[in-house]
Amino acid sequence: MLNNWLNARAAKQFHESHEGQTRILLRRLLDVSKQDDPFKGTESEFFLSMASAMFQSAYGYHIQGHDDPFFKGAKEAIEHLFNAHMYTNFWVNIFPALSYVPDWFHGTGWKRTAREWRKQKEWTMNSTLQWTKDQVTAGSAEPSILGALLDHKLTSKWTQEDKEYRLKELGMILYSGGTDTSANVLVKFVAAMVLNPKVQAKAQQEIDTVLGPLKLPKVEDEERLPYVRNLVMETLRSHPVLPIAVPHVCYEDDVYRGYDIPKGTVLIGNIWAMSRDESIYKDPEVFDPDRFLDPKVPPLSAFGWGRRKCPGVYYGQAAVFTSIASLLATFNLTKKLDSNGREIIPEIEDGSNSMTLYVPQHPIERISSNQVSKPVV
């Protein structure tokens, strides 16, 4: 269903939204750069920017800031979703039979937590879709995916109840798949630039040479900025957002390297191992965008593969490229200093009980203006 709005051609309709949200992000980062710990604020602004773009695309709704009730509700729902999927958070994930234990039994507090989280998620899904429905009814709705699906041939054969349910879930899928992951890429980009200042300088030089001092990058400039494009691919390779891919299911009996894999087996791709395959990526621990100058070196499948490949791959690529290119065009990213004036080297580590990699809260000293003549405002 989403292919109608998110395929390579259709995704172009969202480019203007990406560019507009990126400019808002740059303005907000100017304020963040004045804070004592700019990275913490930067990470938060990345998430808000990606969420704003997705809400506009999915619902036609403009998030009003960090305290926006729809934004806060969706963010909380996604946090609950990720926590619920971590096996070690709840014993029932390991022993499904525990779901049949009565609520009054000792140790079943997780059931109450699940009900509270479900109630919060339902409020978020109901309120956001209802807002879009109200706008459509009033004739004041902006173009959006869910707004279009309310009266579309793809949903015409569904019952009203079924349509409501599916569109609510679709909205949550769009938000969860297009916000946290994209924001996480930007966090990894910041760490990579702090660790590789020569790469940062080379990318900035390309932008200044190709676009000049008075123009911010757009999605359409990607072909003219090959080094920046390769830098984005190298960020996705060197620091994959999901080191372990989302689960797939084997749809027929198979044999892999002598191992019998029965139909129905859950398979999880090791993206981290793929990103470190020295037969494909020479010196994999080195951050080198130029490796992709060799046409034999493929980009990492950061968006998955097969039938469950992320349907928003073109949407996500455009959002990430626009953000990274614009950040390079307007800001310098430098290391934080300790109390003795020595540089702190940031590390990208496994998050505690997390599906993603994370960056500690203190990798940069400042985010300073690179080109004050750029039309950020």
Q: Tell me how far apart the alpha carbons of residues 117 and 92 are, in angstroms, rounded to a whole number.
A: 16
Q: Over the stretch 176-192, which tens digit does the pLDDT of each residue have?
A: 888 888 888 998 898 89
Taking each continuous run of H as one helix and of E as one strand, the counts in the chain are: 12, 8
Question: Between vectors from CA 130 to CA 127 and to CA 136, what angle results, nearest 5°?
Answer: 145
The residue that leads in pLDDT, 108 or 22, is: 22
b/e string for 84-118 if b means 16 or more Cβ within 10 A?
Answer: beeeeebebeeeeebeeeeeeeeebebbeebeebe
Query: What percentage of residues in the chain have a pLDDT greater than 70?
Result: 90
Q: How far apart are the C-alpha atoms of 73 and 34, rounded to whole Å? A: 29
Name the token pair of 370. Answer: 């690179």
Question: Residue 360 CB: number of other CB atoms within 10 A?
Answer: 13
Specify the DSSP class assigned to residue 95: -
Mean pLDDT of 303-309: 77
- The whole-number average pLDDT for the span 42-63 is 92
Out of 3.40.50.11540, 1.10.10.10, 3.40.950.10, 1.10.630.10, select the CATH number for domain 3-369.
1.10.630.10
Alpha helices, H only, the chain? 3-6, 15-32, 38-59, 69-85, 109-138, 145-149, 160-178, 180-195, 197-211, 226-238, 271-275, 313-330
Taking the CA atoms of the chain, what radius of gyration do you get in angstroms? 22
Instruction: Determine the pLDDT at residue 360.
Output: 43
Any binding-site annotation on 250? no
Residue 350's pLDDT is 53
Give SS3 for 368. Answer: strand
Q: Which residue has the tokens 């009003």?
A: 64
- Selection from 328, 54, 314 nearest residue 217 by Cα: 328
Buried b (16+ CB within 10 A) or exposed e, 186-206: bbbbbbbbbbbeebbebbbeb
Average pLDDT taken over every residue of the chain: 85
**Residue 199: its pLDDT value, please?**
97
- The string over 309-324, giving b where at least 16 C-beta atoms fall within 10 Å of a residue's C-beta and e elsewhere, is ebbbbbbbbbbbbbbb
CB 240 within 8 A of CB 300: yes
Statement: residue 121 has pLDDT above 50: yes
Residues making up the chain, counted from first to last: 377
As beta bridge partners, residue 335 has: 364
Q: Quick one: pLDDT at residue 230?
A: 98
Whether residue 151 is predicted with pLDDT greater than 50 in this model: the reply is yes
pLDDT tens track for 365-375:
434 444 444 44
- pLDDT, one tens digit per residue, over 350-364 is 554 444 444 444 444
265-295: pLDDT as tens digits: 988 889 999 999 999 999 999 999 999 999 9
